[in-house]
Amino acid sequence: MCALKIKKGSSSHSAYQLRNPMGDAIETHTLAVIVDNEPGVLARVIGLFSGRGYNIESLTVAEVDHLGHQSRITIVTTGTPQVIEQIKAQLNRMVPVHEVHDLTVEGPSVERELALIKVASTGDKRVEALRLADIFRASVMDTTLESFVFEITGTPEKIDAFVDLMRPLGLVELARTGVAAMLRGKRAEASAQL
């Protein structure tokens, strides 16, 4: 269990608040949560967020420790400092949760997301799509005479920018993985056996 980290200036929050709690700035945090890879664990985490009215901007999950049956869930969430502290405390007290790391606080960290992007066009638009893909270091996974499927990896912002550029050039389909994130430097935040 984590020690409490109380942020100065965090104020009250309650479901019964009549006043606007917007006095506090909304922050975006990336959390790495190490959990037992048991049935229902993802439903538990998602249920916590929906049940208590927290936001999920992005969520990814996969097993990272096969022998120890542990998965890593990366959640990007938003809220006031007090809500962010609540989210971490609520996650921390779940039985299958081993560790909760706030990469935004413990950082700096790197964040990456992968996207597959289908663009269907011909002529100049097709040429321009390919040229921009080159600039963004997106690679071509599949091609026909009328379409490309690009693969791009980067920060969510970079992917947003690329998608925006593809829109007028014939974007027809988009699949994104959500964010995977990790602290910079040699320190490992999660103690799973690899």
Partner 1 sequence: MTRQMTGAQMVVQALKDQGVDTIFGYPGGAVLPIYDEIFQQSDIRHILVRHEQGAAHAAEGYARSTGKPGVVLVTSGPGATNAVTGITDALMDSIPIIVLTGQVPTFMIGTDGFQEADTVGITRPCTKHNWLVKDTEKLAETIHQAFHVATTGRPGPVLIDIPKDVQFATGTYIPPKKARTDHYAPRIKGDTQMITALAEALEQAERPIFYTGGGVINSGAHACQLLRELVDATGFPITSTLMGLGAYPASGKGWLGMLGMHGTYEANMAMHDCDLMIAIGARFDDRITGRIDDFAPGSKKAHIDIDASSINKVVHADIPILGDVGHVLEDLLKIWKSRGRKTKSAAVRKWWQQIEEWKAIDCLAYRNSDKIIKPQYAVQRLEALTSGMDRYITTEVGQHQMWAAQFMGFEEPHRLMTSGGLGTMGYGFPASIGVQIAHPKALVINVAGDASFLMNMQEMGTAVQFNLPVKQFILNNERLGMVRQWQQLLHGERYSHSWSESLPDFVKLAEAFGARGIRCQDPADLDDAIREMIAHDGPVIFDCVVEKHENCFPMIPSGKPHNEMLLGDASTEGAIQSDGAVLV
Site residues for partner 1 per CB under 8 A: 1-4, 6, 10-14, 16-19, 36, 39-40, 43-44, 47, 51, 82, 85-86, 89-90, 92-96, 98
**Measured from the CB of residue 79, what is the shortest distance to partner 1 in angstroms?**
13
We find the least distance from the C-beta atom of residue 188 to partner 1, in angstroms, to be 19
Nearer to partner 1, 51 or 108 (CB): 51
Sole residue written with tokens 């970079």: 158
Minimum CB distance to partner 1, residue 13 (Å):
7
| Cα–Cα distance, 70 to 36 (Å, whole number) | 5
Q: How far apart are CA 171 and CA 100, in angstroms?
A: 37
58-65/70-79 β-pairing: antiparallel
Residue closer to partner 1 (CB basis): 36 or 189: 36
Q: Cα–Cα distance between 154 and 5 in angstroms, integer?
A: 31
Residue with smaller CB distance to partner 1, 3 or 135: 3
Looking at the Cβ atoms of 69 and 184, the one nearer to partner 1 is 69
Nearest-10 crossing angle of helices 81-92, 41-51: 150
* Cβ(69)–Cβ(37) below 8 Å: yes
User: Rounded to the nearest whole angstrom, what is the least distance from the CB of residue 181 to partner 1 in the complex?
Assistant: 23
Alpha-carbon distance of 59 to 45, in angstroms, equals 10
